């Protein structure tokens, strides 16, 4: 427990918000043979300040407030998140809110800074959509260090909370170039909409990849989220729908895209192999394809 709490404190010092989202029965979890968290909280042999601190951070239960966070709750109820075929609600919530999951390092299974989940949802077309997604995760201080870029970016947004992060795109995402169309689309969402957290997450991922892209061809497999191109027949059939004006005055066809989950959102982009930057052309609903033409 002490290692777990020290990790929480270290996370807070690095800018992570000072509360944990936990399940309603969290305090009844076993942390040792015949020894539960609630027993630890009442154990007079445990440092009182440490117990008080822990009580103060486990205030967010259940994971989601169905009234105050109705948008997140709705997405959570329509989605499933599996790790090794087991439903993992906490890891799923971390993905939905673009946060970091934390675990007791009780087994080597949790000694990793990202965890791959199987995400399953019924989309608005009535089809079941499945995708492997990566969720940020920590169980020791070393894992936190690996999330430094993410934490720095989140801290910038939190520090500018009184302003609008969508007006600071060039500063937050220096390796991304936004078409005017994409900038305008961002402002179609209301401030605080859940989808904006997921868009942020995808933009962070793209920015991180393109910042490190120094040589070779663009490799979609190096991104943590599923990135795919449109089919050739779609680009021939719906060329106009996939062609956007870029800041340099050129029109380009946008094929590569990443899905914004949950939901059917897409971010379409062009990898510029000359500047090594990413041109964002579309942020919104999926574009027409030969399979989905409406």
For the segment 65-87, the average pLDDT, to the nearest whole number, is 82
Domain(s) labelled CATH 3.30.2310.20 in the chain stretch across: 160-285
- Comparing C-alpha atoms, which of 225, 179, 237 is closest to residue 200? 225
String of DSSP letters for 105-150: --SGGG--SEEEEEEEEE-TTS-EEEEEEEEEEESSHHHHHHTHHH
- 63-72, 182-191, 261-270, 272-281 — which is least confidently predicted? 63-72
Percent with pLDDT over 70 in the chain: 95
SS3 state of residue 196: helix
Q: Is 144 a residue whose pLDDT tops 80?
A: yes
Q: Is 290 a residue whose pLDDT tops 80?
A: yes
Decide: 252 and 270 in contact? Cβ < 8 Å: yes
pLDDT score for 54: 93
N-terminal to C-terminal alpha carbon distance within the chain: 53
pLDDT score for 122: 78
- 80-89, 103-112, 142-151, 162-171 — which is least confidently predicted? 162-171
Structure tokens at 243: 């062609």
For the segment 91-109, the average pLDDT, to the nearest whole number, is 90
Higher pLDDT among residues 130 and 230, named by residue: 230
Residue found by looking up tokens 């630890």 in the block: 40
For the segment 6-12, the average pLDDT, to the nearest whole number, is 92
For the segment 3-24, the average pLDDT, to the nearest whole number, is 88
Structure tokens at 169: 């795109």
Q: Is 42 a residue whose pLDDT tops 80?
A: yes
Q: Is 255 a residue whose pLDDT tops 80?
A: yes
For the segment 3-10, the average pLDDT, to the nearest whole number, is 93
Q: Is 20 a residue whose pLDDT tops 80?
A: yes
pLDDT score for 158: 67
Query: Which DSSP letter does residue 21 get?
Result: B
For the segment 235-245, the average pLDDT, to the nearest whole number, is 97
Distance between alpha carbon 46 and the CA centroid of its chain, in Å? Answer: 36
Q: Which CATH class is domain 160-285?
A: alpha beta
pLDDT score for 9: 93
pTM across the whole model: 0.74
For β-strands 176-178 and 277-285, DSSP reports them as: parallel
Q: Is 61 a residue whose pLDDT tops 70?
A: no
pLDDT-based confidence at 60, cuts 50/70/90? low
219-236 tens-digit pLDDT: 999 998 889 999 999 999
pLDDT-based confidence at 161, cuts 50/70/90? low
């Amino acid at each position: 427990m002490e290692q777990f709490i020290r990790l929480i404190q270290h996370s807070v010092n690095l800018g992570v918000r000072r509360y944990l989202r936990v399940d309603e029965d969290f305090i009844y979890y076993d942390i040792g043979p015949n020894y539960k968290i609630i027993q630890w909280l009442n154990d007079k042999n445990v440092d009182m300040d440490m117990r008080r601190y822990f009580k103060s951070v486990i205030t967010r239960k259940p994971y989601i407030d169905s009234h105050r966070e109705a948008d997140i709750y709705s997405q959570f109820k329509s989605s499933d998140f599996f790790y090794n075929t087991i439903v993992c609600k906490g890891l799923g919530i971390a993905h939905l809110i673009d946060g970091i999951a934390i675990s007791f390092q009780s087994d080597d299974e949790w000694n990793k800074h990202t965890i791959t989940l199987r995400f399953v949802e019924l989309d608005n077309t009535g089809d079941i959509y499945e995708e492997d997604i990566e969720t940020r995760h920590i169980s020791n201080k070393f894992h936190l260090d690996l999330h430094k870029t993410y934490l720095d970016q989140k801290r910038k947004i939190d520090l500018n909370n009184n302003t609008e992060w969508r007006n600071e795109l060039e500063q937050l995402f220096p390796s991304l170039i936004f078409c005017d169309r994409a900038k305008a689309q961002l402002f179609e969402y209301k401030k605080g909409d859940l989808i904006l957290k997921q868009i942020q997450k995808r933009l962070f991922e793209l920015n991180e990849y393109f910042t490190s892209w120094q040589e070779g061809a663009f490799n979609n497999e190096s991104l943590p989220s599923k990135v795919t191109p449109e089919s050739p027949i779609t680009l021939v059939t719906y060329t106009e729908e996939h062609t956007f004006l870029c800041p340099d005055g050129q029109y380009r066809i946008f094929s590569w895209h990443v899905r914004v989950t949950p939901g059917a959102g897409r971010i379409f982009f062009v990898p510029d192999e000359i500047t090594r930057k990413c041109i964002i052309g579309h942020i919104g609903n999926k574009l027409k394809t030969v399979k989905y033409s409406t």
